[in-house]
Amino acid sequence: MAPRHTPTVRQRRFGAELRRLRESVGMSAPRAAELLGTDRTVISNIESGRFGISEQRLRRLASIYECGDPGLVDSLAAMTGGRRKGWWDEYRGKIPPDFLDVSEIEHYAVRLRTVQTALLPGLFQTEDHARALFDLFVPELPRLEVELRVAHRLGRQAVVLGDDPVPYLGVIHEAALRMQPGGRKVAHAQLDHLLESSERPNVTFRVIPFAAGGFPLIGDSVMYAEAGSPHLDTVHMDSPLGAVFIDSPAQLAHFRRRLDLIEQVALTADESKDFIFAVARDL
């Protein structure tokens, strides 16, 4: 089996969960390898995301690790079967790998929750809005890369706007609604697109107005991707140095609590639609 030179975040997430299961029963990697009938380096490579594993061997490992959570085992089993090509792979080597990791996590999520305080959610940006944002990068991006990033961002949107969309709840601060990258016409079309998207049964927007004051995660951009099992959830945050992916159980619980608190501050879905309409009308 040839090792992966650059495992994706999702592949590393799979390996990290297997390592947690092994460590939860106090078992060493050499002992796990012995019971699985393989070399100890195989266990290390699986846990680092560099090797894949068959569903049969995955279920054998889960039994060795005495995992009593059938939902977790089934979710891990669904992640086996080798490296499946996704639509985002056509962009590999052309745009930053963090973008592709986000696409993969979104694609396999069963529910998405986001908080945006300065920018509108990428999953609902219009082509002109997205292009205007990428044109603001410093240093300036080459035109080809801008167009590739725009095309990739639009491709991501199938997860919430396609034929088999996942449930989505997005909290958006008023500041993000009032930003006008690309000018008034682009901004107006963008808000119209948000309103149109909000009519879909799987999409809910909740607005935090300036009048609400402070709230948890103020200033942050957060995506919480729920997996088939809560143990496999992932948090994605933007930072000046690139994407940050979080998956430790304690941190996941912390983010769930903070998102719940934020939603208590936000307007209801119907109030939010009215608010977005009012902002658009004032442009």
Domains of the chain are: 9-78 (1.10.260.40), 88-282 (3.30.870)
Nearest to 102 by CA among 144, 157, 64: 157
pLDDT tens per residue across all 283 residues of the chain: 455 668 899 999 999 999 999 999 999 999 999 999 998 899 999 999 998 899 999 999 999 999 999 999 999 999 986 557 899 999 999 999 999 999 999 999 999 999 999 999 999 999 999 999 999 999 999 999 999 999 999 999 999 999 999 999 999 999 999 999 999 999 999 999 999 999 999 999 999 999 998 888 788 899 999 999 999 999 999 887 788 999 999 999 999 999 999 999 999 999 999 999 999 999 8
DSSP state of 208: E
Determine the Cα–Cα distance for residues 239 and 237; give it in Å rounded to an integer: 7
Q: Which two tokens stand for residue 61?
A: 């490992």
Contact in structure between 169 and 110 (CB atoms under 8 Å): no
Contact in structure between 183 and 243 (CB atoms under 8 Å): no
CA separation, residue 183 to residues 67, 87, 130, 154, 283 (Å): 55, 31, 12, 20, 10
DSSP state of 95: B
Predicted local confidence at residue 227, as pLDDT: 95
Determine the Cα–Cα distance for residues 52 and 80; give it in Å rounded to an integer: 7
- Crossing angle of helices 97-108 and 143-156, in 10° steps, is 10
Nearest to 106 by CA among 86, 133, 90, 76: 86
> Terminal CA-to-CA distance of the chain, rounded, Å?
58
Determine the Cα–Cα distance for residues 114 and 131; give it in Å rounded to an integer: 21
